[in-house]
Amino acid sequence: MTSDTDVTPPTLADLAPVGAATRPPPTVGVAAATAPATAGAAAAATPPATLDARSITAWFGDRKVLDRVSLTMPAGRVTALIGPSGCGKSTFLRILNRMHELVPGAALAGAVLLDDRDLYAPERRITDARRQVGMVFQKPNPFPAMSIYDNVVAGLKLTGTRVTRARRDELVEETLTKAGLWKEVRDRLRQPGGALSGGQQQRLCIARALAVRPRVLLMDEPCSALDPTSTRRIEETIAELAPEVTIVIVTHNMQQAARVSDRCAFFLAAHGTPGVIVEHGPTAALFENPQDQRTHDYVTGRFG
């Protein structure tokens, strides 16, 4: 593996994805400029999508953090991204739903395809990309002053999706049920979301992400700050959701990756070089019969 971190990185304007025209950075007010969706669109089930990253290279300023990373994340499956801290896993995850480009000084090259459609195409609205590729972060981030009910439907307002009150009620129950939280909160939907426990807040964030009908759900270490009981419930939720939405999860927990994922990708950045994927494939094969010695050493706990 070679490093060319000494090469002056291009700017965002120079680094439009392969096959895409140069695009300006997103601006505040994009959501207001988009046409609102209809109630029917909100109610319609959307199938999970295949996400395909091709030759992704990323920089923060003059530091290259990812080098030509390619990975296919199949529809309706759970893909786990594993590797030591600082190897670019979370950066890669944020590239998948266009959050990387919002970081000052960040740049990227390559393409991200959602069922063969470029998420970074100039005609594609960033709100559309975020609606189809949702995100759950490491630290639960419900809107603390909002009720549980309003937290769930907040994404509808942000994406300009109009639904009837009856449909909102159905959506709240449906998504909280899918997130494994409905039975615990159904009698206190008007209480603040910030009053829930940490594990409940994380499941509330999952429900909020599901309410806008994403086709892919990205999860950045969603259990790292949770107790074992809450972690188990989140893992059960992931298993239940997988047939309906493609899931990509970053985790440092090897046992969790083995439990929840169908496929796994091992990221590594050594000696100041940018992150790369050393090996990827079915999770069982990666853990039981890795083809690269570095993968074997990592999954067996010899480093990391």
Rounded to an integer, the average pLDDT of 130-153 is 92
**pLDDT, position 52:** 97
For residue 271 the two structure tokens come to 């000696």
**pLDDT, position 45:** 63
Is 6 exposed, middle or buried, given 0-12, 13-18 or 19+ CB atoms closer than 10 A? exposed
Residue 8 has pLDDT above 60, yes or no: no
Model confidence pLDDT, tens digit, residues 16-64? 333 333 333 332 222 223 333 333 434 446 899 999 999 999 999 999 9
Q: What is the distance between the alpha carbons of residues 34 and 126, in angstroms, rounded to a whole number?
A: 10
Rounded to an integer, the average pLDDT of 170-197 is 95
Residue 303 has pLDDT above 90, yes or no: no
Q: What is the distance between the alpha carbons of residues 266 and 268, in angstroms, rounded to a whole number?
A: 7
What percent of the chain shows pLDDT beyond 90?
Answer: 70
For residue 109 the two structure tokens come to 């090259």
Residue 214: HSE in the Cβ half-sphere, 13 Å Cα cutoff: 29
pLDDT grade for 101, boundaries at 50, 70 and 90: confident
Residue 12 has pLDDT above 70, yes or no: no
Model confidence pLDDT, tens digit, residues 110-129? 999 999 999 999 888 888 88
**pLDDT, position 71:** 98
**pLDDT, position 5:** 38
**pLDDT, position 115:** 94
For the ranges 44-58, 67-81, 102-116, 159-173, the maximum mean pLDDT occurs at 67-81
Architecture of domain 53-299: 3-Layer(aba) Sandwich (3.40)
pLDDT grade for 10, boundaries at 50, 70 and 90: very low
**What does the H/E/C string look like for the chain?**
CCCCCCCCCCCCCCCCCCCCCCCCCCCCCHHHHCCCCCHHHHHCCCCCCCEEEEEEEEEECCEEEEEEEEEEECCCCEEEEECCCCCCHHHHHHHCCCCHHHCCCEEEEEEEEECCEECCCCCCCHHHHHHHEEEECCCCCCCCCCEHHHHHHHHHHHCCCCCCHHHHHHHHHHHHHHCCCHHHHCCCCCCEHHHCCHHHHHHHHHHHHHCCCCCEEEEECCCCCCCHHHHHHHHHHHHHHCCCCEEEEECCCHHHHHHHCCEEEEEECCCCCCEEEEEEEEHHHHHHCCCCHHHHHHHCCCCC
What percent of the chain shows pLDDT beyond 70?
Answer: 85
Rounded to an integer, the average pLDDT of 80-95 is 95
Rounded to an integer, the average pLDDT of 66-80 is 97
Amino acid at 73: M
Which carries the bigger pLDDT value, residue 215 or residue 19?
A: 215
**Partners of 60 in beta bridges:** 63, 106
Q: CA–CA distance from 85 to each of 206, 218, 250, 251, 270 (Å)?
A: 24, 18, 11, 10, 11
Please, what is the average pLDDT of the chain?
Answer: 84
**pLDDT, position 269:** 94
Residue 133 has pLDDT above 90, yes or no: yes
pTM of the model: 0.83
Q: What is the distance between the alpha carbons of residues 33 and 173, in angstroms, rounded to a whole number?
A: 30
Where exactly are the structural domains of the chain?
53-299
**pLDDT, position 20:** 34
Model confidence pLDDT, tens digit, residues 242-297? 999 999 999 999 999 999 999 999 999 988 899 999 999 999 999 999 999 999 99
Residue 163 has pLDDT above 90, yes or no: no
